Amino acid sequence: MPQYPVALVERHILDRAHRSLERVLARLETTAEVAGTLGGPELAGTVRTLLDDVDATLRAHMAWEEQVCYPETDRLAATPWASQVLRLQHDQISRLLDQLRAADLGGAEPHQRAVSELRGQLYAFHAILGSHLEQEERALLGLLVAEPAAPRADGLEEVEPRR
Ligand SMILES: [Fe+2]
């Protein structure tokens, strides 16, 4: 079985996770767009389902990044500050999620102000999460891609094929 460098495996996981988070971004935007057309119970249910899915995917992904991917990034960059801004963004994303969870959408006909606030929070969350993913891809994937391959276990060096 081939031995892959840790950075290559992490890069693959990160890349796949971000592709699935792009679907979360699309749902956030769609929910913000249609929020004003839904009645209270339907809007509350739509937002709750969306947040449940975000919790299940995004929070687990952020925990993995903080425990596995960011330390590797700091090691490759040779500084503990490499991932610091990204960690702060995770805190901001978690706070926004908590705010969305706490939104009071009222009864059958939610107050227009509550809907406007919810839409603002959804768009803010969309913008911050989208920006965060882009920064991670620029910062982390660049470092992880640049990681040289692990030396062969048999001590031999890889030879470029002749052209
Ligand atoms: Fe992240």
The whole-angstrom separation of Cα 107 and Cα 127 is 28
- Averaged pLDDT for residues 141-156: 60
The DSSP code for 3 is P
Residue 109 C-alpha to ligand 1 middle, in angstroms? 36
DSSP reduced 3-state for 149: coil
Distance of CA 61 to the CA centre of its chain: 7
Q: Does residue 1 surpass a pLDDT of 60?
A: no
What is the largest distance, in Å, between two alpha-carbon atoms of the chain?
73
Half-sphere exposure of 82 (CA within 13 A, CB side): 22
Q: Considering the entire predicted model, what is its pTM?
A: 0.76
Cα–ligand 1 centroid distance for 25 (angstroms): 13
Fold observed for domain 6-146: Four Helix Bundle (Hemerythrin (Met), subunit A) (1.20.120)
C-alpha 4 – ligand 1 centre gap (Å) = 23
CA of 133 relative to ligand 1 center, distance in Å? 6
The single residue listed with the structure tokens 């030879």 is 159
Alpha-carbon span 32 to 51, nearest angstrom: 13
Q: Which one of 6-15, 104-113, 127-136 scores highest in mean pLDDT?
A: 127-136
Q: Is the pLDDT of residue 142 over 80?
A: no
**What region does 152 belong to: left with phi over 0, alpha with psi -120 to 50, or beta?**
beta
Taking 50 as the threshold, does the pLDDT of residue 16 lie above it? yes
> Model confidence over 37-62: pLDDT tens digits?
888 888 888 999 999 999 888 998 89
